[in-house]
Every structure is written in C-alpha cells, then in structure tokens.
Amino acid sequence: MTTRARLTLDPAFRVAPVEPRLFGSFVEHMGRCVYTGIFEPGHPSAGPDGFREDVLELVRELGVTLVRYPGGNFVSNHRWEDGVGPAEHRPTTLDLAWRTVEDNSFGLNEFMAWTARAEVEPMMALNLGTRGVAEALELVEYATFPAGTRWSELRRSHGADKPHDIRLWCLGNELDGPWQMGHKTAREYGRLAAETARALKRFDPTLSLVACGSSNSSIATFGSWEAQVLEETYDLVDYISLHAYYDPSDGDADSFLASAADMEHMIRSIAATADHVAATLRSPRRLRLSFDEWNVWYQSRFGGESSLDWARHPRLIEDRYDVTDAVVVGSLLITLLRNADRVGIACQAQLANVIAPIMTEPGGPAWRQSVFHPFALTARHARGEVLRVEPESAAIETAKYGEVPSVWATATHDPASGAVTLFVVNRDRRAACDLDVVLPGGLQPVEHVELADEDPTAANSAAEPYRVVPRPGSGLRHQDRLATLTLPPTSWTMVRFAVKE
Ligand code: AHR
C-alpha cells in the first residue's frame, strides 16, 4: 500500500534562523555516562586526562554543540566542592538520586577541559534542591571570576588559571517532581529561583539563566507550575525549561511514532503560558524555551530509583535503540526546528550509555546507536533559516494523540549558498508514501539518504555496530520545480538540494 503527500519549500516563508544550540546533549553523573562513558582513565584510547578519545571522536561526529552538566536529578543534592581540587583529596559521597557511590574523580574542571576537547559549549546546572543562593553564587564565582577573590583563587590553585567561559546556568532541575531531592511547590521554587537569579545577574548581568519548567506534560501541575514560577521570575530569567521522554514499551507503536505531537503541544502550551505571564506583567520580553532533556526512553522497563542497590557507576537505563526509535528521534528534531522561533536550546538526554546515541564497553569499543544518525545528519545539514513547511498527507489514527499526519517535515534554507535541505519522516508503519516536493527554481537534488529497514526492530550493538546505518534513498525523480520521492514505511529521510551549476 502507498499513500501520497505533497509539500512546498519556499525560502520566502521563514520561521527563524537555525540556532546551533538546538543540537545540545546532556552529561549527568548517572550510571555510566561519565565513568566508563566519556571518562575512563586506563582505557586504551584514553590520554593522560582520562578522556576516551574514541568517544570524543564520536561526539564531534554527532555534531553536538552544547552539553548540559552535571544533572539531572543528580544535581539536586550535589556539592560541587566535592568534585574540585586534588583528586586524592576528594571525598567518596553518596548520590541519593541514583543510589550511586560517587568518587568525585570527575568534576567541574575536568568537565570544562572535556568540553574544550569535544568543542562544545558548557551549560551548567545549579543545585536549588538541597542548596540555595549562597552556594550558587560561590560556584559561579569559583568558575567564572578572573582572580583575586576567595573562590576564584581556589579555582586557580586547582590548576584552572583562566576563568571558565560558562554563559548558561540552569536554576535547578525538575523541582516540580516529588522524586527530586528538595522538591518544592511552584511558589517555593519560583521565589528561590528569583532570588538566585537576582543575585547572579548582580554578579554578572550577561549570564543566561534557565528557570525549571515541568518534568513532563502529564504531571498534574503542567502549565500552572510554569505560570507561577514565571510570575516570580519572568524578568530575571532568559529561558524556561521543558523535559520530555517518549516510551515505546507499552506496545502502542502508532502513538509512539506520533510522539512529536506531544512535543509540539508542550512547546505551544508553554510558549502561550509564558506570553500570558508577559501580558499580565506588561513585559515586552518574549521568553525562549530550553528543551534541555528530550529523548526516547523505555521508562516503564526501569524499576525506579528505590529498586536500585548502592553501586559504583552501575549500568542504568542503557536502552538499546532500534530503527523505529531513530525515526521518532528524527521526528523530535524536526519538531524542535519547526519551533525554532521559540525554542532556543535543546539537549538530547543523555550523551553516552544512559539512554544515549553513543555506547561504550569498559576497556572496550564505542559505537553509534540507531538514534545517532538522524541527530548527526540534522546537526550537520540544518543550516541558515528554518522554513515553514506544511505537508498535506494521509492521517493516522492514534490512541494517545488522535489523528496525526503521517508525514512530518521541516526544511532549512542557507541564504549564503541557496541550498535547501528537507528533513521528513513517514510515521506510517504499514504504507510507503510518494511525496511530491515543490521546489524553488534553480535547485537540483544532490543527496538523498534515509534511515529505514525491512525490520524496524533492527538495532546496533558492540557485536554488530553497523547493522543500522543511513542508506542512500532510491527512486528520486526531479523535473524543474518538482521532485518526487518515496518514503518507506517507518522512515526518516533527508534530501539536500543545491543551486544548479
Ligand atoms: O535523564 C535521566 C533523568 O530524567 C534526569 O536525571 C532527570 O532530570 C529526568 O527525570
């Protein structure tokens, strides 16, 4: 069975410039993301700093631009001081979020050295769960003040002579969630975030601050949390955060493939909530959104934090991703780009081993999961301006989101070269789709790749790291201003068009 769809690419219809910070990731002290993920002293590929070079190479290939650190739930009971100074003097501590024994051999200064090697921007989260304004100020002074004060001199005595260039600070993590150490009501958190923001902006008005939004769209306080938090913080912060994980494990594959409908709903709802608060405060500012945790996560397979025994860097939520998961990840990236006028930051959670595009074995290899590929290709080829693209396609009926269009797409236009790149998914599991693409004049297709497989459950592993890779698309026909291609069932596709020589 084949369906038909049509879309038009027109550089006159722009959404916003492609923001490089949309291709962010997340490194939490959780499971094996840090230890034996990005950091493994003694690994054959690690240098004297303990950073795995094989992982660094994959991070650069993935095209990650920004990395949020050190959590996540971990940060809400974290003492940053435990992770700085001579490694032999650092304490062994208990991380209550993931019931993990933490030796603190990797901390702020190691992370900053790693970001330089990975060529990514750092985004730091502050502990506003069990700590407050004073400790946040001390950390920011330690990290970013040049010299001559108690905390900046302490940093220099730790070998970091120059201040770290950290522009982005998260005011806590998921404090709406009862699982969070130091969980708060919206008013309690809003007041604390406001006072922390006021102090940080007094310290350095150029810092960009992110207030915590909801942890997901099904939590009872979704929407009202943001409204109350922003009533306290609106003119003091630069972003409000959103988090969302999509779970394939309940067997409802049609709804899972339509997960972007929830992401779109979250973005629109929180943008509207922020605009409502701006209106009531008569504020001319338009707040941006930081979607700083998003991904596919087989969450219902995870027994929860209380099921965990105390351990050192245990294997936690090391989900193995298949082709369907990669198509969903591609559709979520499409959604972030489609909303580039509001979403200024996005972080796929997480980077290595923990629900991650990059997997490693301790002492062994590193490899790309299926979800690595749509991220890497989108990060590499989404350039210039995002175009408004509105496909006409068949509809799919889903239990969770009602009717959704089978084809979901975005495109970018690079004004410098005239190139246009289309990113599109076919969420139909049963039918291929013949897609007509109406193009601006003077373009020709130069690359057509897709992620699809006769077996949508195919996945990569240490033994079979290249089972799922992008493959050349076939059967693209092009004449004048019309290109026609076939999207296989459950597929992600990218087509690049360049100006004809
Ligand atoms: O990424 C895993 C966890 O998911 C993070 O620690 C938390 O912020 C979210 O609930």
Is 404 in contact with 398 (CB distance < 8 Å)? yes
Residue 215 CA: nearest ligand 1 atom is 10
Length of the chain: 501
Q: What is the pLDDT of residue 303?
A: 86
Ligand 1: which of 73, 78, 316 to mutate, most ligand atoms within 8 Å of CB? 73
- Cα separation, 103 vs 26, whole angstroms: 20
In this structure, the residue with its CA closest to atom 9 of ligand 1 is 72
**How much distance in Å is there from the Cα of 74 to the middle of ligand 1?**
8
**Mean predicted lDDT score pLDDT of the chain:** 97
- pLDDT at residue 300 tops 90: no
What mean pLDDT do residues 170-179 have? 98
**How much distance in Å is there from the Cα of 279 to the middle of ligand 1?**
32
- Cα separation, 182 vs 189, whole angstroms: 10
Tokens standing for 464? Answer: 């079979």
Residue 30 CA: nearest ligand 1 atom is 6
* Pocket of ligand 1 from Cβ distances under 6 Å: 28, 30, 71-73, 173-174, 215, 293, 349-350
In this structure, the residue with its CA closest to atom 7 of ligand 1 is 72
In this structure, the residue with its CA closest to atom 1 of ligand 1 is 349
**How much distance in Å is there from the Cα of 23 to the middle of ligand 1?**
18
Instruction: Specify the range with the lowest mean pLDDT, choosing from 4-13, 295-304, 408-417, 426-435.
Output: 295-304
Q: What is the pLDDT of residue 9?
A: 98
What are the tens digits of pLDDT across the range 186-205? 999 999 999 999 999 999 99
Residue 26 CA: nearest ligand 1 atom is 1
- Cα separation, 270 vs 222, whole angstroms: 9
What are the tens digits of pLDDT across the range 344-381? 999 999 999 999 999 999 999 999 999 999 999 999 99
In this structure, the residue with its CA closest to atom 6 of ligand 1 is 72
Is 419 in contact with 499 (CB distance < 8 Å)? yes
Ligand 1: which of 96, 245, 296 to mutate, most ligand atoms within 8 Å of CB? 245
In this structure, the residue with its CA closest to atom 2 of ligand 1 is 72
Residue 349 CA: nearest ligand 1 atom is 1
Q: What is the pLDDT of residue 250?
A: 82
**How much distance in Å is there from the Cα of 72 to the middle of ligand 1?**
5
Ligand 1: which of 25, 33, 170, 173 to mutate, most ligand atoms within 8 Å of CB? 173
Q: Give the torsion through C-alpha atoms of 127, 131, 134, 135, to 10 deg.
A: -50
Is 3 in contact with 428 (CB distance < 8 Å)? yes
Residue 355 CA: nearest ligand 1 atom is 1
Q: What is the DSSP string of 72-121?
A: SGGGGG--GGGGSS-GGGPPPEEETTTTEEE---S-HHHHHHHHHHHT-E
What mean pLDDT do residues 475-480 have? 94
- Cα separation, 486 vs 433, whole angstroms: 6
Q: What is the pLDDT of residue 474?
A: 87
What are the tens digits of pLDDT across the range 207-258? 999 999 999 999 999 999 999 999 999 999 999 999 999 998 888 999 999 9
Q: What is the pLDDT of residue 304?
A: 85
Catalytic machinery residues: 174, 293
